[in-house]
Amino acid sequence: MSMTRQVTIVSVACLAWAAPAVADELRCDVQGYRAQAGLTADLTEEVLTLTWNGDPGQQVRLRLRVDDGTPTFDEIAVHDTSGVWTTVARDVTLEFRVVTGVRRMTEQQLRPLRALGVEITPELIAEKQWDAFWDAPLDVPGMDGRGRTNVGMPRTPGEIQRATAVWEVTGCTVATKGARLEVGFPGVRLGLFTGRLQITVYRGTNLIRAEVVARTNAPSVAYKYEAGLSGLSIDPAARVVWRDLSNQWQDYQLGGAVNDDPVPLKVANRIVIAETFGGTISAFPPPHTFFFAREVETDLGYGWYRKDAASFAFGVRQAEGEEDPRYKANFALYSARPGTWQRMAVYFHVGTGDAAAARNAALAFTRGDRFKALPGYQVMASHFHMDLGQRLLESGSLDTKLPDLEALKAAGITIVSPTDRPNGDDRLEVLAAYYEGARRHSDRNFLIMPNEEVSTLLGGHWDILFPKPVFWTRDRQPGQPFVERHPIYGTLYRVGSPEDVMEMVTRENALIYMPHPRTKGSTGYPDTVKDTAHFRHERYRGVGWRWGMGLDLSERRLSERRVLPLLDDMNNWMADVPTPPKQILAITETYRKRPGDDIYANNPVNYVKLGQLPTPDDMTDLIDALKVGDFFVTSGEVLIPTYEVTGTGTHRTIVADVEWTFPLDFVEVVWGDGATRDRQIIETTDLPPFGTHRFEIPFDATGKRWVRFAAWDSAGNGALVQPIWVE
């Protein structure tokens, strides 16, 4: 469809600014554009104007031009209940910066492969390096003396490159995609990357997504990026506003000296706001894909501003390393596999209100950085190395309040499953403190479920979840009893083989999950043990879902290269076994935390079907719900409150209720036949933000063994239910 060409009438308010001295003629490919109510694009010789229905009762207008190859926001304006167009910003441009280093496979990944007798070849390293965890490409020389020497160390300063986007734009593309408009500006160079700038707007919200979509053919690239707006006018009304980590308002009124470099800001909820002559612009990153895996959630300063001579800039950033030297060897950055299109995104939300209103509007997309309470569900977060038992003993009182638990509870989590690892001579004493501490710090609305991570006997690492306190050791010798009576702790298990482990978990109604499959100390697992009796046992429930290890910004789904294919592989492996399907359990695997840490952004959770919380002495209901798959995993923005497969025989229907905040991208039905996997994707770009919808998807069960459902939004967030067998 051809685009209407017209001259846009400029409002009186806009006449206060001089027109740009030189604007390039704007040649746009509009074949993918189709006009629709509340979402239009108009092209003149020099300006592309996007106009759309935004937040309730508002319209937004974005005028785009190209000046000497540089895409420019000629105007950002909002039409609200006042009845007039208000210009929020004019003549501003986008900034993107990138820092690249060399991705290396880690010794932690190599160690289990060597133990399995796997030949370490250049081809294997090239394949496995992308899932590195203990890698810090910007840490030179990177030799920390703790056995974490990676392939090809030490690092050198010459490996690190820094670049700012170079704009060489000569035209654009305009496409309608459901209820959104996508404008592409090919001709961007960003260090090792080349590609395009893409601007996306969505009917139903004042949200604007700006991203460099680019690729590199260089090998072993790890990177981080920064993004923002520059050229904002300094006038008496202008300032940069944010909440600090104690949740107090702070501002910079642009009265200081010119900055040479961006000023990092530790901002609560990753939101930094520019107040302008006409309103506000909030900048924030995608809430989860922005974060590669770390061992702590401390805020490293995700906002920035810079005062220039006659204007200012602001946006989002990633630091170049950890502040705490204990964790500096793990700052892995994003992975950029050669030829993949990396999406380096920032969001802007525009409005005519004050900073408080702007912040609330931005926070709505992450539900206030709090996991929403759903009737009939409990929110469970798992695998935190907080050393609960040991720290309580060291404090001198088992009643000592630990900030870790307060930070997690504040995020809306109702079940916390720490992962202690007491392995010394005082193991039983620490276990006793762990269990008693869980009792004392649980409440009617908050449960601590002790969990333990083990790295012997079953292959790779594994977590064990008990429904009640159980005392056990891993030191059983030939001829030593499996169960004995301890004078202090009562029943004591001594295990020394996979058979012992599975007998104990069967007797005690426990469950096992592998926390970080196919990477770290579980590289090569569970694939290597997939045919063993213990892996095929009904109590070995599955693997952990944490997306940051090997994060690749070309992925449409969280951990779509490492964990999600494994979920499907496992159920194809198990297609002939009469046990419940294998699952994924959302985990975090971080260490100590405190209020002010970015808990929400770095913690996937499980919504478990439980009407009320059990007690720490009897968590049978929780174990039983996990065992049969009565839970879904989510990043928090997308929820699946109800799900079922109806019908009989070959004619089935997938029925799922989904709710979301960011505009939804697609839902999918995934299935397997015992050997292969396939899927049906239903695009949902026509649906509005902050929506709910019941999906009823016909499903032909012929030849299928299992099926699952998932939903993913436009910011890379998502939720998925556990697979079920197709009878």
| HEC profile of 525-558 | CCHHHCCCCCCCCCCEEEEEECCCCCCCCCCCCC
For 69, other C-beta atoms within 10 Å of its C-beta total 14
Q: Which CATH number is 377-634's, of 3.30.450.40, 2.60.120.1600, 3.20.20.140, 3.40.50.300? A: 3.20.20.140
Mean pLDDT, residues 410-416 taken together: 98
pLDDT in the model for residue 323: 95
Q: Is the pLDDT of residue 282 over 90?
A: yes
Contact assessment for residue 409 and residue 441, using Cβ atoms and an 8 Å cutoff: no
Q: Of 96-105, 174-183, 542-551, which range is least confident? A: 542-551
| HEC profile of 422-466 | CCCCCHHHHHHHHHHHHHHHCECCEEECCEEEECCCCCCCEEEEC
pLDDT in the model for residue 5: 31
The enclosing H or E element of 500 equals helix 498-507
Average model confidence (pLDDT) across the chain: 94
Q: Which CATH number is 636-727's, of 3.90.1420.10, 2.60.40.2060, 2.60.40.10, 1.10.10.10? A: 2.60.40.2060
Closest C-alpha to 294, from 559, 594, 599, 635: 599
The amino acid sitting at 617 is D
Mean pLDDT, residues 139-152 taken together: 77
State the DSSP string of 367-398.
Answer: TTTSPPP-TTEEEEEEEE---HHHHHHHHT-T
pLDDT in the model for residue 115: 95
Q: How far is 556 from 267, CA to CA, in rounded Å?
A: 27
Could you tell me the residue ranges of all domains in the chain?
A: 92-98+163-366, 377-634, 636-727
The amino acid sitting at 150 is N
Mean pLDDT, residues 165-169 taken together: 97
Q: Where are the alpha helices (DSSP H) in 152-237?
A: none
pLDDT in the model for residue 29: 94
**In which band, very low, low, confident or very high, does the pLDDT at 8 lie, cut at 50, 70 and 90?**
very low
**In which band, very low, low, confident or very high, does the pLDDT at 23 lie, cut at 50, 70 and 90?**
confident
Tokens of 8: 């846009």
Q: How far is 119 from 124, CA to CA, in rounded Å?
A: 8
Do β-strands 166-167 and 171-177 pair in parallel, antiparallel, or remain unpaired? unpaired
Residues in contact with 643: Cβ distance below 8 Å, sequence separation at least 6, in sequence order:
632, 654, 655, 656, 657, 709, 721
State the DSSP string of 601-634.
Answer: GG--EEEEE-SS--BTTB-HHHHHHHHTT-EEEE
pLDDT in the model for residue 440: 97
pLDDT tens, 188-239?
A: 999 999 999 999 999 999 999 999 999 999 999 999 999 999 999 999 999 9
Q: Which CATH number is 92-98+163-366's, of 2.70.98, 1.10.150, 3.30.40, 2.40.160? A: 2.70.98
Mean pLDDT, residues 119-139 taken together: 94
3-class DSSP assignment, residue 159:
helix
Q: How far is 571 from 575, CA to CA, in rounded Å?
A: 6
pLDDT tens, 492-527?
A: 999 999 999 999 999 999 999 999 999 999 999 999
pLDDT in the model for residue 22: 67
What number of helices (H) and strands (E) belong to the chain? 9, 43
**In which band, very low, low, confident or very high, does the pLDDT at 15 lie, cut at 50, 70 and 90?**
very low
Mean pLDDT, residues 74-85 taken together: 92
Closest C-alpha to 212, from 201, 232, 226: 226
Mean pLDDT, residues 629-638 taken together: 98
pLDDT in the model for residue 4: 35
**In which band, very low, low, confident or very high, does the pLDDT at 306 lie, cut at 50, 70 and 90?**
very high
**In which band, very low, low, confident or very high, does the pLDDT at 143 lie, cut at 50, 70 and 90?**
confident
Q: Find the Cα–Cα–Cα–Cα dihedral 248, 251, 256, 259, rounded to 10°.
A: 90
Q: Is the pLDDT of residue 17 over 70?
A: no
Q: How far is 390 from 121, CA to CA, in rounded Å?
A: 41
Mean pLDDT, residues 414-437 taken together: 95
User: 150 to each of 141, 235, 392, how far by Cα in Å?
Assistant: 11, 51, 35
User: 480 to each of 206, 427, 475, 476, how far by Cα in Å?
Assistant: 68, 19, 9, 6
**In which band, very low, low, confident or very high, does the pLDDT at 82 lie, cut at 50, 70 and 90?**
confident
**In which band, very low, low, confident or very high, does the pLDDT at 24 lie, cut at 50, 70 and 90?**
confident
